[in-house]
Amino acid sequence: MNDVVIKALAYNKTVRIYATSTTNTLNAIGKRLSYYPSALDAMGRVLSMGAMMGAMLKREETITLKVEGDGPIGKIIVDSDAHGNIRGYCDNPHCHFEYNDFRLNAKETVGKTGFISVIKDLKLKEPFIGSTPIISGEIAEDFAYYFQVSEQVPSAVGLGVLVDPKNTALASGGFIIQVMPDTPDEVITKIEEKLKIIPSVSEMLSSGYTAKDIIYNIGDDIEILDEIKVKFSCNCSKERFAKGIISLGTDEIKEMIDENKTQEAICHFCGNKYYFTKNDLNALYDIAKEKKA
């Protein structure tokens, strides 16, 4: 099954619902750096948020989600856009915590204090940056809090990931329900009642629900607006890394040149390696010098 994000309206167009499945993308990321189950679980949750928040953008806009808790996984970063291109990174993919009943413990993995930040490049002069504290560590509640406090959009968020003993995700996905200023109170009550009785995202995913099934399960009068394929995609390039080296400044580049060997740069998102020979570095030194002058 392809990874997908679906945008829909519900309850006579007064409620927005997003749902996503990100299983394949999550496994593409997990395989690269042999993620442990809890790291895969936490990454899957942020990845699903990234896919859905990407679908809220237009054209060339991009979004970066940063989850910086005090747990052992460290920083989790997800970049995505309006076309389903997504990539993810975490500091430490080798962490694993379970509850007594063997469910994966996201709180322990992510940490219970810290911040989530949302950086949107809306192709304006300055990017939009919103940040709120981590209130749970389970990601879904943390983003619901973010929407409420930072964007003033009351939202319900559900996320789930299922991982098998071989460190492969069997399912990863989630939903976001957002009410609008004109959503009638009785609709809000209906949604609240529904959220109490529907199965958890993990349960829905494990019984084979697709992203579309999730939407039909949580709303009435559904109107599907868009269905976007989600795929792992990294936009790194030698040029981007060269820019990074230039920004280090002449002193640091001089040090690299003096080491007298080809320098290797690794992309943390996709694992691609880029090599800079002494000649390359000399050229970058000249550019950095010009910039300084």
The dihedral over CA atoms of 200, 203, 207, 211, expressed in degrees to the nearest 10, equals 40
131 forms bridges with which residues in the sheet?
117
Report the residue number, 265 or 270, with the smaller CB distance to Zn ion: 270
Query: Least distance in Å: CB of 53 to Zn ion?
Result: 21
Query: Least distance in Å: CB of 127 to Zn ion?
Result: 20
| 74-82, 95-103, 187-195, 262-270 -> range binding Zn ion (CB under 5 A) | 262-270
Query: Which residues, at least 6 apart from 117, have a Cβ–Cβ distance to it below 8 Å?
Result: 64, 65, 66, 68, 129, 130, 131
Report the residue number, 90 or 162, with the smaller CB distance to Zn ion: 90
Chain centroid to CA 281: 34
Q: Does 119 bind Zn ion (CB under 5 A)?
A: no
Query: Least distance in Å: CB of 164 to Zn ion?
Result: 27
Report the residue number, 136 or 272, with the smaller CB distance to Zn ion: 272
Query: Least distance in Å: CB of 285 to Zn ion?
Result: 24
Query: Least distance in Å: CB of 237 to Zn ion?
Result: 8
Query: Least distance in Å: CB of 130 to Zn ion?
Result: 26
Tell me the C-alpha to C-alpha distance, in Å, between residue 162 and each of 26, 77, 112, 180: 11, 20, 21, 32
Residue type, 287: I
Query: Least distance in Å: CB of 280 to Zn ion?
Result: 18
| 130-138, 186-194, 208-216, 263-271 -> range binding Zn ion (CB under 5 A) | 263-271
Report the residue number, 47 or 144, with the smaller CB distance to Zn ion: 47
Report the residue number, 147 or 269, with the smaller CB distance to Zn ion: 269
Report the residue number, 14 or 272, with the smaller CB distance to Zn ion: 272
Q: Give the x-and-dash track for 32-51 against Zn ion (CB under 5 A).
A: --------------------
Burial class (CB in 10 A: 0-12, 13-18, 19+), 54: buried
Query: Least distance in Å: CB of 212 to Zn ion?
Result: 31
Number of residues that bind Zn ion (CB under 5 A): 6
Residues 230-249 close enough to bind Zn ion by CB under 5 A: 234, 236
Tell me the C-alpha to C-alpha distance, in Å, between residue 108 and each of 29, 32, 38: 21, 23, 9
DSSP line for 175-217:
EEEEE-TT--HHHHHHHHHHHHHSPPHHHHHHTT--HHHHHHH
Residue spans of alpha helices (H) in the chain: 23-32, 37-54, 106-110, 140-150, 185-197, 201-206, 211-218, 238-248, 250-258, 278-292
Residue 144's nearest CA partner among 108, 186, 116 is: 116
Residue 196 is encoded by which pair of tokens? 């109490």
Q: Give the x-and-dash track for 190-229 against Zn ion (CB under 5 A).
A: ----------------------------------------
Residues 264-283 close enough to bind Zn ion by CB under 5 A: 267, 269-270, 272
Report the residue number, 269 or 276, with the smaller CB distance to Zn ion: 269
Report the residue number, 74 or 88, with the smaller CB distance to Zn ion: 88
**Cα–Cα distance, 155 to 179 (Å, whole number):** 7
Interacting residue ranges for Zn ion, rule: CB under 5 A: 234, 236, 267, 269-270, 272
